[in-house]
Amino acid sequence: MIDRRNFLGQAGLVATAAALPAAARAAAPARPDWFAAVGDITADIAPQGLRRVHGRAPAGLDGTLYRNGPARFRLGGTAVGHWFDGDGLIRAWQLRDGQAQLQARFVDTTKRRTDTAAGAMVQPGFNTLARPGAVVTSADDTNAANTSVIVAGGQLLALWEAGSAYALDAQTLATKGPLTFRPDLAGMPFLAHPRIEPDGRIWNLGMGGKMAFIWRLSKDGSFEAGQSIPLPMASYVHDFTATARHLVIVLQPWVQERNALPFVASLEWRPQLGTKVLVIDKADLSKRRVFELPPLFFFHLGDAWEDNDGSIRFDGCFESDPAFARDTASALIDARTVRTDRPVLRLVTLHANGRASVDDAGITAEFPRSDPALAGLRRTRTVHVGGYGPARPFARTIGIWDWQTGRDDAHDFGAHQIVEEFVPAGRWLIGTTINLQAKASELHVMDAARVADGPVVTWRANVALPHSFHGSWLAA
């Protein structure tokens, strides 16, 4: 980026700078329009009504879309070093009687308190180094609680991946504190991507190098069972998947090889190791099989299922290496992009004979979701965002890919919109975008049978919230 003062100085124009019209001066190095995706929210947002700008709310669609994502990246002249290191802001988009409102509140984490007290972003992170004043007595001291939010046992769980879930009040979004499922499990990591069976039982992982802790919680979020298991390699694991009977842990060749800070510096990309897929029997965690795949990088997988022929299938959004995770997602904070691979939708089949194969949908896609009633069961449809292009690492379309027909029912919101994750809500999809023209976040409902028709209703907030990651729909 050109430093405006130096640029003018070199050109011998310092004296005339003051005489330039304000517009010309402001026109120097402009931030890209997508910068709103990683902007800062300075305070909680009290409940505010949203303005309906298109269509009408479907009758009877009452409930709340809870979403989570980082929304404070900078403080006191300092900034975090990575998109994943901002403070989690919980947003509640509530629909009732055809009206919509928005409320948002930061998770009151130890990290946020430490940073606030220091007047700077001092706590270390995924790719953020500790600054003077940092205090890290446990992983939870760096827990940004910024990745997802689920509803369990009548409360919200704000999820990160390397520390505890944070419990929040579902109505006020007030933070209750980090959740300890059993005293001896305090501080154990809990991924942001639990797999929830149709009856509500929750499975999750906590990653610790070449070990994973398998969590099993009841529908109401209470502890049922937990156990550590060894892994074939110390892969970076953000997400896993599951069928009705099996846990499926995909181990990519981005492996932890040393103890280093920030965390990303401990990882090396070793494509020669390939990708290993560990399949574990839910009923007996000692029963396991390992499948081999080519080297693949991913953050997110879709729900898995088992076919009659004994094969296990799941889709995911894959890249060829971790360049986005390592480089681009760091550069975004400085309003830069680094050109990286775009995520593509692929279907993995783990055959009964021990072989594994990968099929391409031929579209770019991220944030895969599917019908929660079919979690772990045979399905064909995957909700996803897409339309990734070279200019910015954000989506502009929402679609439902059908693996049976090979067809994508998609809607393009346009280059002026950044599309965030959409989730199924009965026969509808609900999700948010950042409208870069209006400089405002928008809430949309799509008909899941006719996505290409565009939103059936759109509401607009009076604020552009930074890009959120994941969330949950809770029907009223």
Partner 1 sequence: MIRAALYSATVTALFAVATAAVPAPVAAQTAAAAAPATLTIKFDGAMAPTGAVMVALFDSEAAHDKGGAPVRGGMAKVAGTTAELVIPGLKPGRYAIKAYHDINGNGEMDSNPFGMPLEPFAFSNGAKAVGGPPSWADAGFEVAPGAATVTISFR
Determine the interface stretch with partner 1 among 59-67, 148-156, 186-194, 378-386 (rule: CB under 8 A): 186-194
Q: Least distance from C-beta 209 to partner 1, angstroms?
A: 4
The amino acid that residue 446 corresponds to is M
* Closest distance to partner 1 from the beta carbon of 204 (Å): 14
- Backbone angles phi and psi of 116, in degrees to 5: -65, -45
Please tell me whether residue 390 binds partner 1 under the rule CB under 8 A. Answer: no
Structure tokens at 251: 């181990």
Q: Which of residues 63-92 bind partner 1 (CB under 8 A)?
A: 85
- Please report whether residue 230 would count as binding partner 1 according to CB under 8 A: no
Binding to partner 1, residues 209-228 (CB under 8 A): 209, 211, 213, 226, 228
| Closest distance to partner 1 from the beta carbon of 211 (Å) | 7
Exactly one of 24, 27, 186, 475 binds partner 1 (CB under 8 A); that residue is 186
Parallel, antiparallel or unpaired: strands 428-435 and 440-447: antiparallel
Q: Which of 142, 146, 235, 275 binds partner 1 (CB under 8 A)?
A: 142
In the complex, least distance from residue 232 CB atom to partner 1, rounded to whole angstroms? 16
Residue 274's identity, in one-letter code, is G
- C-beta neighbour count of 45 within 10 angstroms: 20
Closer to partner 1 by Cβ: residue 220 or 257: 257
Q: What does the alpha-carbon distance between residue 458 and residue 342 come to, in Å, rounded to a whole number?
A: 28
The residue from 38, 89, 118, 207 that contacts partner 1 (CB under 8 A) is 207
Nearest Cα to 465, choosing from 120, 72, 119, 184? 72
Asked whether position 135 contacts partner 1 by CB under 8 A, the answer is yes
Q: Nearest-CA neighbor of 302 among 313, 287, 315?
A: 315
DSSP secondary structure string, 320-373? Answer: SSTHIIIIIHHHGGGT-----PPPEEEEEEE-TTS-EEEEEEEEEEEEEE--GG
Total residues contacting partner 1 (rule CB under 8 A)?
37
Query: Of these, 39, 86, 194, 206, which contacts partner 1 (CB under 8 A)?
Result: 206
Report DSSP state, residue 30.
Answer: P
The residue written with tokens 């003051």 in the block is: 18
Please report, for residues 9, 38, 172, 247, 273, the alpha-carbon distance to residue 45 in angstroms, rounded to integers and kept in the order given: 43, 17, 11, 39, 47
Q: Which stretch binds partner 1 (CB under 8 A): 100-108, 125-133, 247-255, 369-377?
A: 125-133
Taking CB under 8 A as the binding criterion, the range among 128-136, 334-342, 356-364, 457-465 that sits at the site for partner 1 is 128-136
| Sequence-separated (6 or more) residues with CB below 8 Å from residue 437 | 416
- Per CB under 8 A, contacts with partner 1 among 299-328 are none
Dihedral sign (CA 12, 18, 21, 24): positive
Binder of partner 1 out of 32, 55, 153, 187 (CB under 8 A): 187
Give the three-class secondary structure for 81.
coil
Touching partner 1, residues 244-303 (CB under 8 A) = 256, 259-263, 266
Least CB distance to partner 1 at residue 233 (A):
13
Q: Which residues would be at the binding site for partner 1 (CB under 8 A)?
A: 85, 124-126, 130, 134-139, 141-142, 162, 183-189, 206-209, 211, 213, 226, 228, 234, 256, 259-263, 266
